[in-house]
Amino acid sequence: MRSKSIPAFLTLAVLLGCESEPHYTMRRPHYPKPASQPPPPPPKSAPAIPPAPPAPQEPSYTGSAGPLARAGVGHYMDGLEADLRHYLRGIAVARPGDAIVLDLRDDWLFARAPQLSQRGREALRTVAAALRHYDRTTIWVNSYTDTRGTPEENLKTSQRDADAAAAVLRGEGIDGKRILATGLGRTHLKVATGTGVANPRNRRIEIRIMAKPD
């Protein structure tokens, strides 16, 4: 009995056919990466708060302005007026003749209270600093009211306010002999009104400064 055998050419054909089969490999699909978002901008810092304006400084003097001859009164008061105008911002400074008059509103000095306000004290301290240097002067502190209340009440109130302002000047080194504090009530109104009218321009303290020659 003849053994069955596969012809050699068939074996070769099968082998060649197997090698001709396509060869596949698994490859991970490639997708383009999404564009990365730009990093968020750093948080804006809060704007710097500007520093508070410096408080008004008192005049810096050394000693007295010196003796005062009668012929030099005008020049002497010119210097005092210039300093007061420079340091007393917001306060009216008048120059009738050789006198100097400071007009301080009552509601600004006292803020509608019997006690002096902080702003009022600072203004009076500045006045005192100048008057310590220009010490050949006499100071009248005159206080006025409006027409509310009785004349007696107004005189009492105005005297109280004049005394309070004068006390600050004395406390800042002004010789009390140079100061005369007077409450004048409803006299010398700056704005003419009827009785019982509240007017802030009439409620005021006037500091009148006169030279006192040697």
Contact 136, 212 (CB under 8 A): yes
Sign of CA dihedral 130, 135, 140, 141: positive
Q: What is the pLDDT of residues 40-82, one digit of tens each?
A: 666 555 445 445 444 445 666 655 676 777 778 999 999 999 9
**Which amino acid, residue 185?**
G
Specify the fold of 97-211. Answer: 60s Ribosomal Protein L30; Chain: A; (3.30.1330)
- pLDDT of 115: 86
- pLDDT of 31: 44
Contact 129, 173 (CB under 8 A): no
Q: What is the pLDDT of residues 90-99, one digit of tens each?
A: 789 999 999 9
Which of 88-95's residues contact partners 24+ apart within 8 Å by CB, and which partners? 88/123, 88/126, 88/127, 89/56, 91/123
Q: State phi, psi for 105 to the nearest 5 degrees.
A: -70, 140
d(CA 213, CA 68): 5
Would you say residue 86 has pLDDT above 70?
A: yes
Residue 29 CB neighbour total at 10 angstroms: 4
- Selected residue with higher pLDDT from 136 and 67: 136
Q: What is the pLDDT of residues 95-116, one digit of tens each?
A: 999 999 999 988 788 876 778 9
Write down the pTM of the prediction: 0.69
Q: What is the pLDDT of residues 165-204, one digit of tens each?
A: 999 999 999 999 999 999 999 999 999 998 999 988 899 9
- How is residue 146 annotated by DSSP? -
Nearest alpha carbon to residue 133 among 62, 194, 70, 79 = 62
d(CA 192, CA 75): 36
**Average pLDDT of every residue of the chain:** 80
63: left (phi over 0), alpha (psi -120 to 50) or beta: left
Instruction: List the domain boundaries for the chain.
Output: 97-211
